[in-house]
Structure 1
Amino acid sequence: MNRSTLGTLVGLALGFALAFGDFGQMLIVALFAVVGFVVAKILDGDLDLSQYVSGRRSSQ
């Protein structure tokens, strides 16, 4: 099992633990699944966010 699959499963488990109920709460589960998947992609190195989180560098 790769990290992307593991991250998705962890996100789903956390979502189910947080919100077990109606349709609105099911959307929370989907959100946690997406967050888990994105975090796993970052840890795998498939997604590089360094250009977005690094500060602006001046060329002076």
Structure 2
Amino acid sequence: MSMAVAGLLAGMALGFAGYFGGFGAFLLVAALGAVGFVAGRFLDGDMEPGDFFRRAGGRERDARRR
């Protein structure tokens, strides 16, 4: 599935949640979608838990200082 189709489906889900459930449902669907996206990245192997705790370019920057 292309990213355009995934974005379309996510937008439609958020639209339906906002229309039928109000702003609270909209925020809940958006938050759960973000959690699902991150979990999917972990399962695909595109992301590691340490990615949240490292600075941008952390190891490379430290190696240049030496």
- Indicate the structure whose relative CO is greater, using CA pairs within 8 Å and at least 6 residues apart: 1
User: What TM-score comes out, normalization by structure 2 length?
Assistant: 0.45
Structure with the greater alpha carbon radius of gyration: 2
User: What TM-score comes out, normalization by structure 1 length?
Assistant: 0.49
